Amino acid sequence: MPNRLIILIYLLLTYSGGLWAPLGSLIIILIARLSWREQWIDRLGLRVSQTGIWLSLLALILAAGIAWIMIPAACLVQGIEITPIWERDARVELALHTLGQTFNEEIVLGWMLLASLRRRLPRLSLPSLSIAVALIFAGLHFTFYAVRPQESFNNGILCTAALLSVFAVGVLRNNFILGLGNIVLAWGVHLGWNLIFIDSAYQWAETGERLTEPEIFNAVFGYTPIVSLLVTLMGLSLLIYFLPSTKLP
């Protein structure tokens, strides 16, 4: 029952814009604390050492730095103007939304989904589990934009290169979670990247027309150097990922 409530809150609030996502995060934590008492930290994948916290903060800064170098480069060669979050009027609200959105996704689409499949498919190897969940992750991104009404601003199709990047991100994220037994490092990387990627504004330089979200995904995640970097990191994470065990509940 608590898992279903958490998933419901995730679906209702995470993508509603404004401050709904961080509100959803608080409600998810409240549900977990009331339902699982002392075990709520473990059930949400938040059990982490002080060293792990500092490592995650470092990963956040590193991910944001890489994003700020590579995303403007991708935009420049494609004739796209980018306005970073710190130059936007609603930067505080945007940052808080992204804080909640990334947290909720790591809880539901990361920790809980991995834990659920691991219980149901105990013979599945951890790399296979990581890849399976990454396929679901990429499929959800594709479906999220493809099924929107044709007249919707954000209706669109993600290109193959962008989907490959999203899949690689999914594998990398899953490996962090499975290898370390918590979501904190994955959350740090996700948050650092999205503060630049999601919270910036994009428009075509020639027309001034705003890009749709699928166009942004295709422009950034379909950019060859970014695809190459993410696929390389995915491969490295699979090579060094075989840790003795996982702490998934």
The amino acid that residue 32 corresponds to is A
- DSSP letter for 207, please: T
Asked if 94 and 88 touch (Cβ cutoff 8 Å), the reply is yes
Q: What is the pLDDT along the chain (249 residues), one digit of tens a residue?
A: 799 999 999 999 999 888 999 999 999 999 999 999 889 999 999 999 999 899 999 999 999 999 999 999 999 999 999 999 999 999 999 999 999 999 999 999 999 999 999 989 888 888 899 999 999 999 999 998 999 888 888 899 999 999 999 999 999 999 999 988 999 999 999 999 999 999 999 999 999 999 999 999 999 999 999 999 999 999 988 887 654 444 444
Predicted local confidence at residue 126, as pLDDT: 86
Residues making up the chain, counted from first to last? 249
Predicted local confidence at residue 241, as pLDDT: 60
Q: How far apart are the first and last CA of the chain?
A: 16
User: What does each C-alpha distance from 90 to 36, 73, 80, 95, 104 come to in angstroms?
Assistant: 36, 24, 21, 9, 21
Q: Which two tokens stand for residue 81?
A: 């103007």
Contacts with 139 (C-beta within 8 Å, 6 or more apart), sequence order: none
- Using the structure block, give the residue that is written with the tokens 């090579």: 239
The gap from C-alpha 131 to its chain's centroid, in whole angstroms, comes to: 15
Predicted local confidence at residue 242, as pLDDT: 55
Asked if 2 and 32 touch (Cβ cutoff 8 Å), the reply is yes
* Separation between Cα atoms, residue 97 and residue 199, nearest integer Å: 9
User: What does each C-alpha distance from 169 to 58, 75, 110, 165, 189 come to in angstroms?
Assistant: 18, 20, 12, 6, 10
Enter the pTM of the model.
0.92
| Residue 197 φ then ψ, to 5° | -70, -55
User: What does each C-alpha distance from 212 to 115, 156, 203, 209, 229 come to in angstroms?
Assistant: 34, 8, 9, 9, 24
